[in-house]
């Protein structure tokens, strides 16, 4: 069975890979744009390129903030007693990391989902204990808080 720190470290690693891929892709894109002899093509693509880089940069900032939040969560203690920020829960179908928000990623065949502290689901699960029955959407399951 996966541990809380294994799941959090996996998510951090995946986010870092995404950031590194962005920088690599950006570097290659800029190099290709500079290498081209067709200045008309360059002029036409500049606005699109700036827009794409801006959007990607915002995504990188979000990933970086999530990494910082997850790193802080690693240092928290007693997160397996009841649901709170830094807790990782296993519903049987998915892993939930409480106190951060990110799109689902796969780990050991299950979705790992970040649950923001201002999300209604977070508020409804806050304080639930290990083994408590929880309802997520239409699914009811017992929540296993990971150590």
Residue pLDDT, tens place only, 5-59 = 999 999 999 999 998 888 787 666 666 655 555 555 555 566 666 566 666 677 8
pLDDT value at residue 131:
96
Question: What are the Cα distances from residue 126, in Å, to 46, 58, 115, 119?
Answer: 47, 29, 11, 11
The larger pLDDT score, comparing residue 57 to residue 137, is at 137
Residue 116: CB atoms within 10 Å = 13
Output the pLDDT for position 44. 58
CB–CB of 83/113 below 8 Å? Answer: no
Residue with tokens 């970040």: 114
Kindly state the percentage of the chain with pLDDT values over 90: 64
pLDDT mean across residues, the chain: 86
Rg (CA), the chain: 20
The pTM (predicted TM-score) of the whole model is 0.81
80-90: average pLDDT:
95
């Amino acid at each position: 069975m996966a541990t809380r720190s294994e799941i959090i470290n996996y998510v951090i690693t995946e986010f870092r890979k995404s950031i590194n891929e962005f920088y690599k892709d950006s570097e290659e894109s800029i190099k290709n744009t500079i290498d081209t002899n067709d200045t008309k093509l360059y002029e036409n693509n500049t606005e699109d390129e700036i827009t794409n880089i801006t959007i990607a940069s915002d995504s990188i900032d979000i990933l970086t903030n999530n990494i910082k939040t997850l790193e802080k969560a690693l240092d928290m203690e007693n997160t397996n007693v009841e649901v709170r920020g830094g807790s990782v829960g296993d519903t049987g179908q998915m892993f939930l990391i409480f106190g951060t928000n990110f799109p689902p990623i796969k780990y050991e065949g299950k979705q790992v989902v970040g649950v923001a502290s201002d999300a209604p689901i977070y508020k409804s699960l806050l304080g639930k204990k290990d083994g408590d029955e929880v309802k997520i959407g239409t699914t009811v399951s017992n929540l296993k808080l990971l150590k």
